[in-house]
Amino acid sequence: MAMSSSATSPSPSQVSAAAPLLPPLGHEQVVFCHDQATGLRAIISIYSTALGPALGGTRFYPYESDEAALQDALRLSRSMAYKNALSGLDHGGGKAIIIGDPATDKNEAMLRAYGRFVQSLGGRYVTAADVGTSVSDMDVIAKETRFATGRSEVNGGAGDSSVLTAFGVFQGMCASAAHVWGNPSLAGKTVGIAGVGKVGSHLTALLLKDGARVVVADVNSSAVVALCEKHREINVVADVFELVRSDLDVFAPCALGGALDDATVQALTAKVVCGAANNQLVVEGAGGTAQALMNRGITYAPDFLVNAGGVIQVSDELHGFSFARAKHRTEGIFEATASVLRLSAEKGTSPAEAADHLAEERMATVGSNRIWLPTG
Ligand SMILES: NC(=O)c1ccc[n+]([C@@H]2O[C@H](COP(=O)([O-])OP(=O)(O)OC[C@H]3O[C@@H](n4cnc5c(N)ncnc54)[C@H](O)[C@@H]3O)[C@@H](O)[C@H]2O)c1
């Protein structure tokens, strides 16, 4: 792993990691960025460019330590590589962290300084919005770099990605239904949605159109009220605790990460779990939450696969956004989910392991290490 750092000038000079600071996770490059004038402190982590420029969002978050920020950058950039590979994108995986509180520390000068660091990598890393950054922040960053996507529609971007994210989750759910019940339709099935924000509310509409019954829970009562005004036929329960214990065919976590802890897995009545939230499995890896779900006969559609509609959208924007093209590509989540569930059944491994296997295979066999530069 090459480590690069820069003081005030955004021209990263490569220096080798002198000490075994980190576990050898196989990352290609980690860049530490500091801009004295604006107080910017950031880490850009590139896990892989095997399939093309590393694509992944910028997280703006007040980490308790630099070490915690670094670990998150390493973990998240690796996840992005797997997600992009499995989605069939010509992108490697990367992620950036800006250390600070977005509510108090974020300003135009800092975002622009950050944009100059992204530009200095010459297209090896393409950034987008994540926790703590928004579409309008990408507009600001894009003033300094060609390598920012997920911008607003008025600035030539594709805007909110939740429509395609929900569409992709729906595709994954239909593929899971076909795998479990032999029919891709959700008609007559009861789907419990935890979190009816941007993605959960779009998903509700798709499910109702398909003839499913929808039960929802959200800590934000105004989100629930707004959804009920739009769709009077949905049912509402008090909280996620009650939702997972109610009579469900499918559970769709669409709120925060860590939705599938031990107690939830044991209490679930649903036969399928498929939702948008990132990092749903509390214990990752062999013998973890994925195994507990398998032991209970619950089919789990891996989160990083089914929620890829958003990254498909921001990737498409780099080519001049076409909603039709991005939607068509998002439809591919159906077949990708079906392949993962087939492989999982054949090998007796969890869907999460099968998804990792297919992503690794694509990175190893399709990878060309080329860097593609958007025009403009
Ligand atoms: N928006 C996208 O394009 C996209 C893409 C990939 C992944 N995701 C992931 O999908 C999830 C939903 O994204 P979103 O854009 O709809 O976010 P959002 O903030 O619009 O909606 C999340 C909803 O979850 C609710 N919530 C939070 N904690 C809860 C709890 N304990 N119980 C019940 N409800 C709770 C919130 O009140 C909110 O209404 C997130 O985890 C996000 O990281 C989103």
Of 3.30.160.270, 3.30.70.20, 3.40.50.2020, 3.40.50.720, the CATH number of 162-362 is: 3.40.50.720
Q: Using most ligand atoms within 8 A of CB, pick from 256, 261, 330 the residue to mutate for ligand 1.
A: 256
Q: What is the pLDDT of residues 66-112, one digit of tens each?
A: 999 999 999 899 999 999 999 999 999 999 999 999 999 999 999 99
Q: What is the pLDDT of residues 8-18, one digit of tens each?
A: 444 443 334 44
Class of domain 2-85+92-155: alpha beta
Q: What is the pLDDT of residues 202-232, one digit of tens each?
A: 999 999 999 999 999 999 999 999 999 999 9
pLDDT band at 6 (very low <50, low <70, confident <90, very high): very low
Q: What is the pLDDT of residue 14?
A: 39
Q: What is the pLDDT of residue 17?
A: 44
User: For residue 160, which of 207, 128, 132 has the smallest C-alpha distance?
Assistant: 128
Asked if residue 150 lies in contact with residue 138, where contact means CB atoms within 8 angstroms, the answer is: yes
Q: What is the pLDDT of residues 124-157, one digit of tens each?
A: 999 999 989 999 999 999 999 999 999 999 999 9
Ligand 1 geometric centre to CA of 239 (Å): 15
pLDDT band at 20 (very low <50, low <70, confident <90, very high): low
Helix (H, G, I), strand (E, B) or coil at 188: coil
What number is the average pLDDT over the span 364-372? 68
Cα separation, 71 vs 68, in Å, equals 5
Residue length of the chain: 376
> What global pTM score does this model have?
0.90
What number is the average pLDDT over the span 298-326? 96
Pocket of ligand 1 (CB under 6 A): 161-162, 165, 194-200, 217-220, 223, 240, 254-256, 276-278, 307, 310
The residue whose C-alpha atom lies closest to atom 31 belonging to ligand 1 is 219
Q: Which helix (H) or strand (E) is 332 found in, with range? A: helix 323-347
Domain chopping of the chain, boundaries: 2-85+92-155, 162-362
Asked if residue 74 lies in contact with residue 54, where contact means CB atoms within 8 angstroms, the answer is: no
- 162-362 shares the fold of 2-85+92-155: yes
